Amino acid sequence: MMGLRGTASAAAAVMEPEPEVSDEALLVLFANGDPTVAAELTQRLGPRVLGMAMRVLGNRAEAEDVTQEAMIRLWKVAPDWRQGEARVSTWLYRVTMNLCIDIKRRARGGTLDLDAVPEPPDPAASAAETLQNQARADALQDALMTLPERQRQAVVLRHIEELTNPEIAGIMEIGVEAVESLTARGKRALAKALAGRRDELGYHDD
């Protein structure tokens, strides 16, 4: 069942058409004073920023603060944006990651908020499945929070945000080989952390 759902969603992601107007073009319009494009940019980029911040920080309130601050920085950079040099989303991921690192530095040993990863309601899923999905999401977040910070950042960017290794290298300001090493070690550590929870997470049903 899970495999089917996963395959379907992956196919949908692949088939998702590129937006007609690029993020960059919208940012230029914003800088030119167009009052209508901020909503579109927020709709496109807000969930990605919030999602990454929640995964890295493990705390929704902090992630929301980071999201608002990252978007403020996007608005401010708009007039000075150099077209064609970087993708807006990559730039924003980088700003977000740095804000997350700052928060972690200020408060070492961030706590995991159990409400941090809300599962959107799935009308097709039964109550039991919903609970199990929630348990899986929490289990993933629990496991992510056991990783060293750099491994967690690299794993989130690679496997949840689906960025390329060069993009991640640019965001984390490290080499591509270092990214590969961090994601490989992070994935192994996740597998170890999740070992023994297969029955709990319902994988025996598959």
Partner 1 sequence: MTDHHDNFDDIEALFREARDARPVVSERLTSAILADAAAQQAHWQAPPLPPQDGSVRRGPLAALVSALGGWVSVGGLVTASCTGLWIGLWVGIAGPEVVMNAAGLGTLSDASAMVSGDDYAAYETFDLATVLAEDMQ
Binding stretches for partner 1 (CB under 8 A): 2-3, 5-6, 9-10, 13, 30-31, 33, 35, 38-39, 42, 46-48, 50-51, 54-55, 60, 64, 67-68, 71-72, 75-76, 78-79, 117-120, 133, 136-137, 139-140, 159-160, 162, 187, 190-192, 194-195, 198, 201, 203
Q: Which is nearer to partner 1, 79 or 105 (CB)?
A: 79
**Residue 159 in contact with residue 183, Cβ under 8 Å?**
yes
Q: Which is nearer to partner 1, 101 or 201 (CB)?
A: 201
CB of 171 to partner 1, least distance (A): 18
Q: Which is nearer to partner 1, 55 or 94 (CB)?
A: 55
What is the spatial distance between Cα 69 and Cα 99, in angstroms, rounded to a whole number? Answer: 8
CB of 168 to partner 1, least distance (A): 15
CB of 193 to partner 1, least distance (A): 10
* Cβ contacts of 38 within 8 Å, gap of 6 or more: 30, 75
DSSP 131-180: HHHHHHHHHHHHHHHTS-HHHHHHHIIIIIS---HHHHHHHHTS-HHHHH
Q: Which is nearer to partner 1, 16 or 85 (CB)?
A: 16
